Structures are given as C-alpha cells and as structure tokens.
Amino acid sequence: MSLLLAVDVGNTNIVLGVFDLTQGMGSPILHSWRLATTRERTADEFGLATIDLLKHVNLDPERARNIVISNVVPPLHPVLEAWARRYFLTEPLWIEPGIKTGIKILLDNPQELGADRIVDVVAGIEKYGAPLISVDFGTATTFDVVNDKREYLGGLILPGIKIAADALSTRASRLPRVEIAKPERVIGRNTVQAMQSGLYYGHVGQVDGILERLLKEMPGATVVATGGLAKAIASESKYIKHLEPDLTLEGLKILWLKNRK
C-alpha cells in the first residue's frame, strides 16, 4: 500500500489526512487528525507525533513516502520541510503559485491567494462541478467563488466565530469566554446564553446574508461548506446544501495527483 500524507496548516489547527493511493483519483481517505497549530513545535516533535498517529491505526510509516502541504503559517515552512525529509525521506509538494490546478485565477495578484482557499475550490469542483461557492469555517470564515468556466473570481474574508468570541471577552471586562455552541433558544436567559446565541445566530445571519448576495451574482452555484465549525453553522443555514469536512484534504490529494513527478 502506497500512502499519501496531506497536511493543511491553518492558524488554529493542523489537519493531517492519510490516503491509500492504489485507487488513483478515487483514493479514499483512511484517517484524519486535528492538531493544535504550535509555532514552537520542532520537526522532531511533529515527526514523532505523526508516526505515533499512523501506528495507532495500524498503518506503516515506511509506506508514507508522498507528502503534500498547504500552509498559511510561514514560520512553520522550514519545520515541515525538515519533518518530511527526516522522517519520511521525501520532498513535499507545496501548494504555492505555479502548481497545476486546472483553474484560471482572475485576481489582481494571484500570489495573494491563500493555499487553503484554492485547495477547497479544486476539491469542490471535482465533486460538484462549477459554478461553485466554497465556505470554509476556520480562524477566518472565507468565501471563494468559481464561475461555470472554472475561473476563480475572488471571494470574501471575515472574522471567524471564535475571533468574535475572543473579541467580546477581551474588550468587555464583564463578559466571560464562552463555548461556541448552538443554543437551545434564541433568547438567552443569562449572560453566557445571550453571548452564545448572539455569536451563533449572528454568524449564521452574516453567512446567509453574504450567500444570498453571492447567489444573485452567481445563480445556480453549488454552495459547499468545510472547516472545523462548518457542521454547526451549516445546519442552520438556508443556502449551504453540502457539508464536506474533509474537503481541504481531498483537494490536497487531487493537486498532488495533478502535479506528481
């Protein structure tokens, strides 16, 4: 069995997935894990953690000789480069300008586009076709839009729900930190409930308001959601019809297959 390690490095979490490559483009994801993004973590710490995770699910690390990485945290680039070379004896494929995506990027400066965003739309198009709107609920909530010609038009970036929660507790001295969760009712009967309701339904309303406007400009587009908080928000959204927790990892696999040497 030949394995592919797909690594998506975000500001809050590092998501790691492993694929069995014997089935080509249809290779299934075998397992995935979510680690905290720690800028102080060394290549050795990351290597030992990765090997332990693979062995825990009875996968042989010796068979993982293919690695693809999307990274939005530049200080971790040399750490992951060393990790791939030292523990898996390979040069990773980095998702960066110049790789083959099959999508024309119509931005003023294409190099500004975050690696995770192009990965999401590549996977979304592979699964649902175009036009497409991808919504990723991470540290930031991002919207990415592709027309029926597979041209990436651009998108939107807004603070994620956790950033909003942190801002409330940091800037208002009497407001506590609260768990991000769907409340039982809209009207909160205490401070914590009121904050949870405001954060949750405020974000749902914000997301649906943006999607309503985007769908007027891109009628017929499929809306797909991914990211750590996608499940909670998508369940209440009027416009999100497809939930894909592993969309970014699937996109990394597709791009590795398109660009392998």
User: What residues act catalytically?
Assistant: 116
Look-up: residue for tokens 């009712």? 185
Q: Which long-range contacts (CB under 8 A, 24 or more apart) does 127-131 make?
A: 127/224, 127/244, 127/250, 128/222, 128/224, 128/242, 129/222, 131/218, 131/220, 131/221, 131/222
CA distance 248 to 226: 8
> Which class for 40: exposed (0-12), middle (13-18), buried (19 or more C-beta within 10 A)?
exposed
Taking the alpha carbons of 230, 235, 240, 241 in that order, is the dihedral positive or negative? Answer: positive
Q: Which long-range contacts (CB under 8 A, 24 or more apart) does 34-41 make?
A: 34/228, 36/12, 37/9, 37/10, 37/11, 37/12, 37/13, 37/73, 37/76, 39/73, 39/75, 39/76, 41/76, 41/79
